[in-house]
Amino acid sequence: MNKFFLASAIFALVALVCLLAFMFVGSYVDDQGQMREPLFLAPIGMVSLAASGFCLLVGFASKG
């Protein structure tokens, strides 16, 4: 197994966990009227998904 495919799988797993956590944690308005939501999970998930795709492309390119 190419090291890029392993990195791609790890990044994809991190992206899946972050995006699912973002969906299931949810948002709420606290007693002071401020919105509380886990916004840090969405960018981490998207960057991990992009890194996964990049590693997958590099893995396919270096295989041939």
Q: What is the value of pTM for the model shown?
A: 0.83
pLDDT along the chain (64 residues), means of 10: 90 96 91 92 96 94 76
Hey, where are the domains in the chain? 3-63
* Burial of residue 48, with CB atoms counted within 10 A of its CB: 0-12 exposed, 13-18 middle, 19 or more buried: buried
Confidence at residue 26, expressed as pLDDT on a 0 to 100 scale = 85
pLDDT at 64: 54
- Round to whole Å and give the CA distance between 4 and 63: 10
Chain Cα centroid distance, residue 24: 15
